[in-house]
C-alpha cells in the first residue's frame, strides 16, 4: 500500500513540475530546428529539411515527434506534452527499478531527486530528444542488471534498448562504453559474455553509420562547445548530478544552490559506503559508479583529444546513479538523522524549483505577438540572437519563404529603412555581440535618418527586445 502511495506522490510531483509553465514556454533555437519544418508533407521531407538545419542527429525521436504532431496535436504545447509523458514513464521506471534493487527509501528519494531536478525539469519540457535519451539509458542499465541475474530475455531487451538509444542520440555511445567498463570490472574472466556483448553492440553502433556518413564536419556541429576544465567535472559531479544547479547550457541561467549539495553529496557518499559494505550489493555499487563516472569522463577525454564535446545534457542520464546513491545514503542513516535531513533536502530542492525564472527560454512568442499587433503586411524582420530566425519562422509560418524575414547585415537593413522600408528588429540584449549590432542603429538614430518605435522587451532570464525602425 505504502509503495503505491509513494509512487503516486512522486508521479504527481513530476507531473506538476513539468506541466507548470510549459504552456507559456516559447520555442527556442534547439527546438525550432525541428518544429519549424514539421509541416513538411512527408516524414522523408521533414527529416531532410531538419538535417539542413541540424545535421548531427539520428532519427528516432524525430520519427516520434513528426507522428505526434500529425496525430495528437499540431501545437508547441502538444509537443511539450510528449516530453512530459516520457518524463512520467522515466519516473515509473526509476521508482520501481530502485524499489526492486535497493528498497523503499531509495526508490522514493531517488525519484524525488529526479522530479525536483532543475535540469530534468527543463529537459522534461524540451521539444528535443533528451527526455527519451535519459529514459532509454535508464531502462538499458536496469535490463543489464536483470540480464546478469541469469535472465536471458533481459539480454535481448537490453540490446534493443541500446539500439533505440543509439538511434536517439549519438553520444548514447558513452552509455555503451560505461556498460562495457562495468562488465569488464565486474568479471574480466567472463570472456565469452564480454565478447558476445561487444559483438552485439558493435552491430548496434554500426546502425548510426548511414547518418554519420551524411555529416562532413564534427567541428562545425560541435564548434560552439567550450573546452572543459577540471572545474567543469567538479561542477558536474558536485552540483549538476545532485540537482543543485543549472549548467551553463544556453539558454539556462546559472543558478547555484550549494545548500542542497551540502546534504546531497555526503548522503551519496554514505550510500556508496553502505552498498560497498554489503556483499550482496557490491556489484550494484560498481554498476552505479561506472554508470555515473564513465560518460562524463569520456566526454572530457574526447574534448581534449578530439573535439570539445562536453555538455552536461549529453550525459545527464549519469545523474540517475547519483540520485540512487543519495537514496541509499538516507536508507542507511539512523532514523533521527534520516527524518531530519531528508525533509530538509526535499525542502531545499523545492525551494530551488521555486526559484526557477520563467519563461526559461527566450520568449520569442511574446515578441512575435508584439510585432503582430502593429505589423503591416510589407514590413520586414531581422533577427539578432541565437537561432532567432528559426524561432520566428515558427510563429510567422513561411515568413522567410515570403522574403519578409531578412538574413542581411545590420548596416544594409538600416540603408533599406532609410530608403523607406519599415523593419522590425528582434534582438538578444544579453548577447555578446549586442553592442556591435546596436551601434549602427544608434548612429542612424542620432543622425535622424531613421526613428525607433514600439520598443518593448519580452522579460525572462534571456529577455528579447523588439522594436520597429522607420524612415524619418
Which of 311, 331, 354 lies at the terminal end of a domain, its last residue?
354
- pLDDT for 132-143, tens place per residue? 999 999 999 999
Examine the domain organization and report whether 22 and 155 are in the same domain.
yes
The three grid cell numbers given for residue 237, joined into one nine-digit string: 559531479
Whether 381 contacts 424, CB under 8 Å? yes
What tens-digit pLDDT sequence spans the chain (472 residues)? 889 999 999 999 999 999 999 999 999 999 999 999 998 889 999 988 888 887 778 899 999 999 999 999 889 999 999 999 999 999 999 999 999 999 999 999 999 999 999 899 999 999 999 999 999 999 999 999 999 998 889 999 999 999 999 999 999 999 999 999 999 999 999 999 999 999 999 999 999 887 777 665 555 556 678 899 998 898 889 888 887 765 445 555 555 567 788 899 999 999 999 999 999 999 999 999 999 999 999 999 999 998 888 999 999 999 999 999 999 999 999 999 999 999 999 998 998 888 888 899 999 999 999 999 999 999 999 999 988 999 999 999 878 777 778 889 999 999 999 999 999 999 999 999 999 999 999 999 999 999 999 999 999 888 999 999 999 8
Give a yes or no: residue 195 inside a domain. Answer: yes
C-alpha cell at position 70: 500529425
Domain check: are 368 and 339 in the same one?
no
- My answer on whether 30 and 88 are in the same domain is yes
> So what's the pLDDT on residue 150?
86
Statement to judge: residues 373 and 309 lie in one domain: no
C-alpha cell at 79: 509537443
**Domain C-terminal end among 299, 323, 354:** 354
Domain count along the chain: 2
* Helix segments in 124-245, DSSP class H: 130-148, 152-166, 173-186, 191-206, 209-212, 218-222, 230-235
The answer to whether residue 109 sits within a structural domain is yes
The last residue of one of the domains, among 354, 382, 417, is 354
Please tell me whether residues 215 and 70 are part of one structural domain: yes
**Same structural domain, 266 and 221:** yes
Rounded CA Rg of the chain: 24
Residues 321 and 380 in one domain: no
pLDDT at 211: 75
What distance in Å separates the CA atoms of residue 416 and residue 25, rounded to the nearest whole number?
Answer: 33
Q: Are residues 341 and 409 in the same domain?
A: no
**pLDDT of res. 334:** 94
Q: Are residues 75 and 14 part of one domain? A: yes
pTM over 0.75: yes
Does residue 397 lie in a domain region?
yes
Whether 300 and 211 share a structural domain: yes
> For residue 469, what are the β-bridge partners?
423, 452
Establish if 268 belongs to a structural domain. Answer: yes
313: DSSP letter: G
Kindly state whether residues 338 and 381 are assigned to the same domain: no
> Is 142 domain-assigned?
yes
**Angle, CA 432 vertex, CA 471 and CA 455 arms, to 5°:** 35
Give the C-alpha separation, 186 to 147, whole Å.
13
Main-chain phi, psi angles of 282, to 5 degrees? -60, -40
Residue at 406 is within a domain: yes
Query: Is 391 within the bounds of a domain?
Result: yes
**296 vs 74: CA distance, rounded Å:** 36
Please, what's the largest Cα pairwise distance for the chain? 81
Residue 359 lies in a domain: no
Predicted local distance difference test score (pLDDT) of residue 148: 95
Based on the domain organization, do 164 and 273 belong to the same domain?
yes
Can you tell me the distance from the alpha carbon of 164 to that of 162, in angstroms, rounded to the nearest whole number?
A: 5
Residue 260: which of 182, 200, 175, 322 has the closest Cα?
322
Q: Cα(323)–Cα(119) distance, rounded to whole angstroms?
A: 13
* Cα distances (Å, whole numbers) of residue 370 to 364, 383, 456, 464, 468: 10, 14, 8, 11, 10
Identify the domain containing residue 396 by its residue range. Answer: 364-471
CA distance 267 to 284: 17
Amino acid at each position: 500500500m505504502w509503495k503505491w502511495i509513494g509512487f503516486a506522490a512522486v508521479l504527481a510531483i513530476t507531473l506538476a513540475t513539468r506541466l507548470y509553465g510549459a504552456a507559456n514556454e516559447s520555442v527556442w533555437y534547439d527546438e525550432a530546428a525541428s518544429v519549424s519544418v514539421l509541416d513538411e508533407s512527408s516524414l522523408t521531407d521533414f527529416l531532410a529539411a531538419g538535417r539542413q538545419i541540424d545535421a548531427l542527429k539520428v532519427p528516432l525521436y524525430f520519427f516520434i515527434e513528426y507522428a505526434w504532431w500529425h496525430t495528437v496535436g499540431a501545437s508547441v504545447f502538444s509537443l511539450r506534452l510528449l516530453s512530459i509523458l516520457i518524463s512520467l514513464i522515466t519516473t515509473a521506471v526509476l521508482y520501481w527499478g530502485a524499489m526492486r534493487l535497493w528498497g523503499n527509501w531509495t526508490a522514493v528519494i531517488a525519484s524525488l531527486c529526479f522530479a525536483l531536478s532543475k535540469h530534468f525539469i527543463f529537459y522534461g519540457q524540451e521539444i528535443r530528444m533528451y527526455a527519451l535519451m535519459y529514459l532509454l539509458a535508464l531502462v538499458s542499465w536496469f535490463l543489464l542488471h536483470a540480464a546478469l541475474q541469469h535472465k536471458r530475455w533481459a539480454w535481448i531487451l537490453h540490446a534493443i534498448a541500446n539500439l533505440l538509444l543509439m538511434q536517439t542520440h549519438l553520444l548514447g555511445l558513452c552509455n555503451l562504453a560505461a556498460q562495457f567498463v562495468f562488465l569488464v570490472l565486474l568479471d574480466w574472466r567472463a570472456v565469452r559474455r564480454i565478447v558476445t556483448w561487444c559483438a552485439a553492440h558493435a552491430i548496434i553502433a554500426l546502425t548510426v553509420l548511414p547518418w554519420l556518413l551524411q555529416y562532413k564536419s564534427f567541428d562545425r556541429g560541435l564548434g560552439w562547445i567550450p573546452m572543459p576544465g577540471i572545474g567543469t567535472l567538479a561542477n558536474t559531479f558536485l552540483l549538476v548530478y545532485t540537482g543543485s544547479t543549472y549548467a551553463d547550457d544556453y539558454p539556462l541561467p546559472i543558478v547555484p544552490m550549494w545548500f542542497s549539495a551540502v546534504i546531497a553529496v555526503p548522503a551519496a557518499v554514505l550510500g556508496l559506503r553502505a552498498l560497498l559494505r554489503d556483499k550482496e550489493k557490491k556489484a550494484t555499487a560498481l554498476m552505479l559508479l561506472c554508470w555515473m563516472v564513465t560518460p562524463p569522463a569520456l566526454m572530457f577525454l574526447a574534448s581534449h583529444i578530439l573535439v570539445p564535446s562536453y555538455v552536461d545534457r549529453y550525459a545527464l542520464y549519469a545523474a540517475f546513479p547519483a540520485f540512487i546513491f543519495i537514496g541509499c545514503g538516507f536508507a542507511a542513516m539512523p532514523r533521527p538523522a534520516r527524518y531530519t535531513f531528508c525533509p530538509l533536502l526535499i525542502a531545499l530542492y523545492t525551494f530551488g524549483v521555486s526559484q526557477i525564472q520563467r519563461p526559461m527560454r527566450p520568449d520569442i512568442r511574446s515578441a512575435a505577438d508584439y510585432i503582430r499587433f502593429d505589423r503591416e503586411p510589407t514590413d520586414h524582420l531581422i533577427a539578432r540572437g541565437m537561432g532567432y530566425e528559426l524561432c520566428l519562422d515558427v510563429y510567422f509560418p513561411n515568413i522567410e519563404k515570403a522574403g519578409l524575414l531578412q538574413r542581411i547585415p545590420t548596416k544594409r537593413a538600416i540603408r533599406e529603412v532609410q530608403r523607406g522600408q519599415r523593419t522590425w528588429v528582434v534582438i538578444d540584449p544579453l548577447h555578446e555581440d549586442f553592442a556591435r549590432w546596436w551601434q549602427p542603429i544608434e548612429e542612424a538614430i542620432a543622425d535622424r535618418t531613421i526613428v525607433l518605435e514600439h520598443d518593448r522587451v519580452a522579460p525572462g532570464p534571456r529577455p528579447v527586445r523588439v522594436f520597429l525602425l522607420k524612415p524619418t
